[in-house]
Amino acid sequence: MDRYEKIESKIRNALQADNASRIKHELNKIRAEDIAWLLTRLYDNDCKSILSVLDNRKTAEVLVELPTETARRYVHELPNSVLANYLTELPPDDAAGLRDEIPEERFEELLDSIPIEYSIEIRKLMEYPEGSVGRFISSNFVNADRESTIGEVIAKIQNAPEDEFETVNIVFILGSHKHLIGFIPLRRLIRHDYNTKVSQVMITDLVVARYDESAESAARILTRYGFASLPVVDERGKMLGILTADDAQEILDSAVTEDVLRLGGVSGISDAYLSESVIQIAKKRLPWLFILFIAETLTGAVLRHYGEEGLDITPVVYFIPLLIGAGGNTGSQTTTTITRALALGEISHNDFFVVMIKELAIASLVGSFLGIAGFIRAHLWGADPNLCIVVGIALPCIVLWASFISSILPLGAKKLGIDPAVMSAPFISTFVDATGLIIYMELVRSIVF
């Protein structure tokens, strides 16, 4: 058992005993980063129990270490004293984003209770359009005017408090009214004589983003050129701040995750896998499954049309696209979610049974809904009552089977040291389509004939 498993075991035992003093005693021995990791593996009620026994400062530190969307789930449960500490610990852009989770009146109270320099920075960011790069900029960057010497700039960096600047890798040169006129990478700066003016060595080939440009677009510009930070300006060229590389990476990671989940037929923003409840995950999967269910129904309607036109197509065939489509789509959703969780380290092959139980519970919920919808669809098409029953039973059975296979293969691959991505959605869909057809035909043979 490794260090993290020991931590998890001790805290779970304390939670099961419902002993607040024991929980607090165990947590006092654990770093905030480890508590945050633990919270991504627990359900909300257990997480709230843990947060309730921590002091305000420690709670704020834990929330900072959590994935942003996970942390925001708990803000309504926490007192203002904790949230005030949380706001001062957060980067200003994340603090401004918290406004969407808290009623305006309460958020204003929090801003009034934190140091004025923090509240000014947060209010400034909130003025920029939502989703724009302006919401992510930091005004804590190294700058100098064109008449400054290299020695003066280096002294400025050396004498500044440790947390004064977001990054010192680039020095931005500003002209009148804070207009950006050039920049100097730190490695270039230190290679020149201290008495040299920055205007003599600065680079004037500028790459910038405007404050109202989309955050994702600005992040892609930064990564394209490999910058440590990207200057953000207003419409007149006045420098407002910088987008840092770590913020850009977070923006792109979020965008990629959302795109990957959509490709797998999962809606919404995904939190840590183990921290989400069965109902939360089912809500994200069911809308897409239902949309695809309707699409597959149209395929069945085509078969039904030609069957009624005289072609030798039995009504049993009408429902095949619907059934194997539901299985394949369920498999795609499951394998996409689990492969992502494995890649991010949210789960490991040691969580096999936890994942299996969770996925089968989700499949039971989703499959029951689709089974009822399938039964109604078959009935409206005037199918034999026994065939209606078969469709209603086959759908949840196929969904359960698809979830089981789509869970076991990525986890098994991880255990064997194989990249879980090899168990891709197309591969699993093909396998589930064939085996799902067997389930359906065996039910038809048992009940209809």
Does domain 3-127 correspond to CATH entry 1.25.60.10?
Answer: yes
Comparing CA positions, the residue from 298, 299, 270 lying closest to residue 284 is 270
Q: Does position 361 have pLDDT exceeding 90, yes or no?
A: yes
Q: Does position 257 have pLDDT exceeding 80, yes or no?
A: no
What is the pLDDT at residue 394? 94
Q: Residues with Cβ < 8 Å from 420, sequence gap 6 or more?
A: 338, 339, 342, 343, 410, 411, 413, 414
Task: Give the count of beta carbons closer than 10 Å to the beta carbon of residue 196.
Answer: 13
- Average pLDDT rounded to a whole number, residues 85-93: 80
Q: Does position 302 have pLDDT exceeding 80, yes or no?
A: yes
Dihedrals φ, ψ of 353, to 5°?
-70, -35
Query: What angle, rounded to 10 degrees, do the helices at 245-263 and 215-225 form?
Result: 120
More confident residue, 1 or 433: 433
Q: Residues with Cβ < 8 Å from 300, sequence gap 6 or more?
A: 318, 319, 320, 321, 322
Q: Does position 401 have pLDDT exceeding 90, yes or no?
A: yes
Comparing CA positions, the residue from 325, 355, 363, 354 lying closest to residue 338 is 355
Its CATH architecture, for the domain 264-447, is: Orthogonal Bundle (1.10)
Domain boundaries, the chain: 3-127, 136-244, 264-447
Sheet harboring 229-233: ordered strands across? 209-210, 229-233, 239-244
Q: How confident is the model at residue 222 (pLDDT cuts 50, 70, 90)?
A: very high
The CATH label, of 3.40.718.10, 3.40.50.2300, 3.10.580.10, 3.30.930.10, for the domain at 136-244 is: 3.10.580.10
Q: How confident is the model at residue 212 (pLDDT cuts 50, 70, 90)?
A: very high
What is the pLDDT at residue 269? 55
Percent of the chain with pLDDT over 70: 94
